[in-house]
Amino acid sequence: MAIYGIGTDIIQVSRVQAVMERTGGRFAQRVLGPEELAVYEARKARSATRGLAYLCTRFSAKEAFSKAIGLGMHMPMTWRAVQTLNAPGGKPYMVANGDLVQWLEERGITTHVTITDERDYAVSFVVAETDRPPVQTPVR
């Protein structure tokens, strides 16, 4: 395996909270995939603070993922094209859907993600690996 790309993102929780207030909560529905949205709603029902923290970590992970694969937020990468879920032990992992699945498979890309949050910030780090030979880029 070779590293295809690395992405990181940090987000200020208060900025997401302001967007949520401005959009009446629609921001979460625009950014989260169906499984993420279900977890978000359950956490938000127990604690608004933990729900917001969950939303921030998932938003941050999507940003880091888009950087690691080199697309940014351009097709086939969209907010809902990838979800960050948790294995039974808690380890986060990313699941693509739609056209992004084929795009990743064509490049032999798999990813590793780590996420964390504190009261004011959420941070994510994604490493994308490939089983394909690296493309040689000429040095200029």
**Residue 123 · residue 115 · CB < 8 Å:** yes
Q: Where are the alpha helices (DSSP H) in 1-129?
A: 13-23, 26-31, 34-46, 48-68, 99-107
63 is in an annotated binding site: yes
β-pairing verdict for 121-130 and 109-117: antiparallel
Q: Is 120 annotated as a binding residue?
A: no
H or E element at residue 91: none
Q: Mark the binding-site residues, compressed into ranges.
A: 9, 63
Q: Mark the binding-site residues for Mg(2+), compressed into ranges.
A: 9, 63
